Structure 1
């Protein structure tokens, strides 16, 4: 049984807790948060994601108000870092140094230097590190991955991805809306689709982008990016937070030589496949949610001593680098090489 402790019991910490409790090969043994109320009840936390888990029984789980006391528990196998982004690097490195494997929420960090320190600590202490880039484990996006790899519709020609919604105004100390702490939507939201593109196709040859700052926060609140692959598809990625209370929307449209796949989370059915013979269908896909899938995958990696090849930390670091290249491309008005 793999023993897990969670650092940070905000929305994502409670969401992860619900998934760990369902895992047959894992046991949630400890949680930590500097706000005592968050350690007691899930309904003390607000957020914009739910998996319908309802009330959770954490009666046998140790509770800490100092993350360092959880890290000091050598009976824990995995430390699950669900803290706000500016704390990712510090506590990931401390947990790795203490001998724990680490699952860290996305984004990995706000700087490449911090990301490199996290990777170096994992290597130095011979521990596994994975960044929870959940879209790699999302059923509809895994379906697209399988179609690209399988080639039933021919080669992928073009891919359009989008992820937009209202600004998250509910976070602890409103840290999401502070670009110094969250990086804004390019680092917190848009990085999902940047990372998925990197996972699916690798680093692009060129990056172009146009982003606009918000007067309210000074951060880039909306971006359109174009990734070009010389021997592959063109990829357009749109993301951002709106001042309007617009519903969250995410999806993709993938153009192949012999068909098209469209996923729109607000549509019914959300996933459709159209082929060149005029047929259309809503395909059957794997069941389960991405949060369960990613945690189950990492627990299995730890149990069997295998590196997380589906989401290695070096790849998550490269995705962070691509967001930075988008910003550089937007600010310079130039195309930026994607592979250096």
Structure 2
């Protein structure tokens, strides 16, 4: 499959996955010809600044969008209208109106649309999903998700106003899948400067509570870390991860019940590879789409709800 990869920033995380495959042909698109050629060359890809050709060239089967969030829905709609499969980074939209427009377009198209809900492919999160669905530890009563990062990505905005959309969205997807839509959401935030801050949201459900926190108030040696604690009526699951730009976190998952504490074995985590492998399998007709836009609406709605409390002007 020939893939148009739009974006030379976070697009590098996707590019590294494609470069390890022998069943794709990738062209990387960017605005700056020198930077685009340099970055694309690192992965052995061709490069282009002719954005229109990503949509107009019939040889491209999939458009992969690693662009600023406000461009996700407009570019995804354009890709679908051009008869392309499309993968967009998260969040898929900046409003529920936009999100629903993408859902409608995807459902009306004979092409597949995907949202990079990469955390659904994290082994520790899959254990939690299974535990909730199967009732392995009883009913889920409390879920705390957290992420804390240093400024690992030069130029990236991780200030308070950016954190809900940029850093909390995937954890909020985990929460909505486990508990549904909260009745109440209470948000607190602190900002060091325009590029660093912390946000915490406390959510109440019928018979349960959840928390989600994200902070960029960490020095560079800290790197990136995160995890969750899920308390059920019959036990606790706790995941702690160290993570980086490559989407390959190192995670320890512990289960605590009345019988004691033990470590839960996990497959190595490589969620970007797993996500892109899933996308290509769906396009080939070998799997059902697990990350279609319709399945991302609940998390988007909660993320926007928190975002508005952090920045009422939005």
**TM-score category of the 2 structures, normalised to the smaller one:** 0.7 to 0.9
Single out whichever of 15-24 and 82-91 deviates more from structure 2: 15-24
Which among 262, 267, 281 is matched to residue 281 of structure 1?
A: 262
Aligned residue runs from structure 1 range 1-340, under 5 A? 2-10=1-9, 12-23=10-21, 26-42=23-39, 56=43, 58=44, 61-167=45-151, 170-171=154-155, 176=157, 184-204=162-182, 206-212=183-189, 214=191, 216-217=193-194, 221-230=197-206, 232-242=207-217, 244-245=219-220, 246-266=222-242, 270-278=252-260, 280-304=261-285, 308=289, 310-328=290-308
SS at match of 2:186: strand
Partners of 2:37 and 2:46 within 8 A in 1: no
| TM superposition shift of 1:243 | 6.8
Task: Give per-residue Cα distances to partners, 1:67-119, cap 9 Å, x unaligned.
Answer: 22122121222111011222212211111111001110012122223223322
SS of residue paired to 1:170 = coil
Identify the range of structure 1 (298-307 vs 94-103) with the bigger mean alpha-carbon deviation: 298-307
Aligned to 1:50: none
CA contact (8 A) 2:173 2:296 kept: yes
In structure 1, the residue corresponding to 2:284 is in which secondary structure?
helix
Gaps of 5+ in 2: 244-249
In the aligned structure 2, how far is the partner of 1:28 from the partner of 1:201? 40
C-alpha root-mean-square deviation of aligned residues, in Å? 2.9
- The answer on whether the counterparts of 2:8 and 2:30 sit within 8 Å (CA) in structure 1 is yes
Tell me if the contact between 1:207 and 1:325 (Cα under 8 Å) persists in the aligned partners: no
Residues 177 and 277 (structure 1), Cα distance of their counterparts in 2 relative to 1, 3 Å cut: closer
What's the CA shift string for 1:189-221, capped at 9, x where partnerless? Answer: 0112111212333323x132222253733x994
Q: Distance in 2 between matches of 1:67 and 1:37?
A: 15
Contact 1:165-1:247 within 8 A present in 2 as well? yes
Quote the Cα distance in structure 2 between the aligned partners of 1:95 and 1:158: 40
- What is the aligned length? 305
- TM-score under structure 1 length normalisation: 0.79
Unaligned 5+ segments in structure 1 are: 45-54, 333-340
Cα distance change on mapping 1:327 and 1:27 into 2, 3 Å: closer
